Amino acid sequence: MRAVDWCLSSAGAAVVLATSSDEQHPAENMADGSSQTFWTTTGMFPQEFIIGFPKCVKISKVAIQCYLVRTLRIERSVSKDPVGFEQCVEKDLQHTEGQLQMEEFPLPDFQATYLRFIIKSAFDHFVSVHRVMAEGTAENT
């Protein structure tokens, strides 16, 4: 079975919640496959967003391209609705002055219908998330 990036809108993913809204940098930008577009927070932390998949998917790796994020937590849900999340990983990211932070999180034998990304703290008042990727295959559930 071929690997798929389940976080792409073209693969059926949707941003079902984002705690900040900026009409010039909407949350949907995180799922368009481009590092040139982004979602930006509007101050105060924590901030979060939830990406929903079209079905239960098996994920082997999650990656994020962002800027000025200090502490990130990733949670998953296998429920039909975006509830019942459990923590998968939490990490303090390195500050990269003037360039995107690119972090990968290997997650062997990992299933999800939703992923919640919680930006717990930042290096500045605002952060941007350019791209989120979840590499994996479809489950038959």
Q: Whole-angstrom Cα distance, residue 53 to residue 4?
A: 12
Q: State the pLDDT confidence band at 95, using cuts at 50, 70 and 90.
A: very high
SS3 64: strand
CA 8 to chain centre: 11
Which tens digit of pLDDT belongs to each residue from 18-63?
Answer: 999 999 999 999 999 999 999 999 889 999 999 999 999 999 999 9
Which tens digit of pLDDT belongs to each residue from 60-89?
Answer: 999 999 999 999 999 999 999 999 999 999
In terms of Cα–Cα distance, which of 33, 27, 30, 29 is closest to 10? Answer: 33
In terms of Cα–Cα distance, which of 109, 107, 13, 82 is closest to 53? Answer: 13
Residues ≥6 apart with Cβ < 8 Å to 107: 59, 60, 61, 62, 88, 89
Q: What is the pLDDT of residue 137?
A: 78
Q: What is the pLDDT of residue 141?
A: 45
Question: Average of pLDDT values for 10-22?
Answer: 95
SS3 98: coil
Q: What is the pLDDT of residue 1?
A: 62
Is the predicted pLDDT of residue 2 greater than 90, yes or no?
Answer: no
Question: Average of pLDDT values for 99-116?
Answer: 93
